[in-house]
Amino acid sequence: MVWDDKQHCAVTASSSPVSSGETLTLGRFTLPLPARPLLMGVLNVTPDSFSDSGRFADPDAAVAQFGRMVEEGAEIIDLGGESSRPGAESVDTGEEWRRVGAVLTRVAANSPVPISIDTYKAEIARRAIDSGAVMVNDISALRFDPEMARVVAETGVTAVLMHMLGTPRTMQQNPEYHDVVAEICSFLEARAQAALAAGVPKEKIMVDPGIGFGKTLFHNLLIIGRLKEIVALGYPVLVGASRKSFIGKISGVDESDRLEGSLAAAVLAACAGARIIRTHDVRQTRRALEVCGAVLHPARFTEN
């Protein structure tokens, strides 16, 4: 893909991923599911993002980054206007919309890829959907705002339900579990059932174990190592380990130097059955996962 903010997007000749024959429908988009997971590019338009130090808080910078991620092969873009890093304070609805609306209104109408809105506020979700978003990525799994489930059901968008202990402000204050993976499975199944009861179709539900959201290093390692148990719930699983602090704890590096660890986590998640990988580094993650997918499904590829 080639992106131009004025000319929008033109598809150029390139090799396409080999499809598994299945598709994922997100609004007006029908995405073939390749042998690897789909790539969700992270676009945080906050001044206090843990991963990019507010580099994309300016709308022009954010639109340019949107285009870069499309060109690098992102199949979904996740747009967020409130930081969910450990200890983060919430922002009011007006400020959150000022941040995301300034970008969404410039890219959504002619975007070549689906746009997800990363929010737990129903008003932000509805305004984003009205502006062209086709997915709601809710870190609270529809719990923090009692109107969110109704918005998702009425608009027909896809919802990502994520597991988290507490809130971003409190989640890393000594998180404890008896069996972290079993408890995540129980939580996600309960939240999926709540979404179904609110009128959200099963095919519009995805789940996310919430790596780094109320988990220790040990918990995060168990989640990745036992991800197949979460996949067995029967909902597409999204994994977002990109640049997370547990990688830094293992490797002894800061946010700007966690690429290799992020790729390792992405490949392990893909091997366990994750269907979407949320990443800050689209090009590198896509290349790693294309090799992973080829190894896992060699019959879908032919030698040149």
CA dist., res. 110 & res. 6, Å (int): 10
Distance CA 196, CA 207 (A): 13
Domain assignment present for residue 65? The answer is yes
214-225: average pLDDT: 97
Q: Which residue in the list 126, 191, 278, 286 is annotated as catalytic?
A: 278
pLDDT digits (tens, 9 = 90+) for 134-157: 999 999 999 999 999 999 999 999
Q: Could you give the 3-state DSSP secondary structure of residue 7? A: coil
Range of the domain at 91: 2-9+36-294
pLDDT category at 170 given cuts 50, 70, 90 is confident
Is 23 part of a structural domain of the chain? no
Q: pLDDT at residue 27 above 80?
A: yes
Span 84-139, pLDDT tens digits: 877 777 899 999 999 999 999 999 999 999 999 999 999 999 999 999 999 999 99
Q: Is 20 helix (H, G, I), strand (E, B) or coil?
A: strand
Catalytic residue at 244?
yes
Predicted local confidence at residue 21, as pLDDT: 57
State the CATH number of the domain containing residue 171: 3.20.20.20
For residue 264, the model assigns a pLDDT of 98
Structural domain contains residue 287: yes
Candidate list 244, 258, 275, 286, residue with the active-site label? 244
292: exposed, middle or buried (C-beta count within 10 Å: 0-12, 13-18, 19+)?
buried
Taking the C-alpha atoms of residue 140 and residue 147, their distance in angstroms, rounded to an integer, is: 13
Q: Buried b vs exposed e over 120-138: b needs ≥16 C-beta within 10 Å? A: bbbbbbbbbbebbbbbbbb
The answer as to whether 15 is a domain residue is: no
The β-bridge relationship of strands 2-4 and 8-10 is antiparallel
Query: What DSSP state is assigned to residue 303?
Result: -
Is residue 152, in this structure, part of any structural domain at all?
A: yes
Domain total of the chain: 1
Question: Where do we find the tokens 């689209």?
Answer: 282
Q: Measured between alpha carbons, how far is 208 from 231 in angstroms, rounded to an integer? A: 10
Nearest alpha carbon to residue 78 among 26, 122, 6, 123? 26
Bridge partners, residue 136, by sequence: 117, 159
d(CA 3, CA 78): 17
Tell me the one-letter amino acid at 45: V
Does residue 268 fall inside a structural domain? yes
pTM of the prediction?
Answer: 0.90
Helix (H) or strand (E) holding 278: strand 276-279
Judge contact between 152 and 200, C-beta under 8 A: yes
pLDDT for 303: 62
Q: With respect to residue 26, please indicate whether it lies within any of the assigned structural domains.
A: no
> Is the residue at 42 inside a domain?
yes
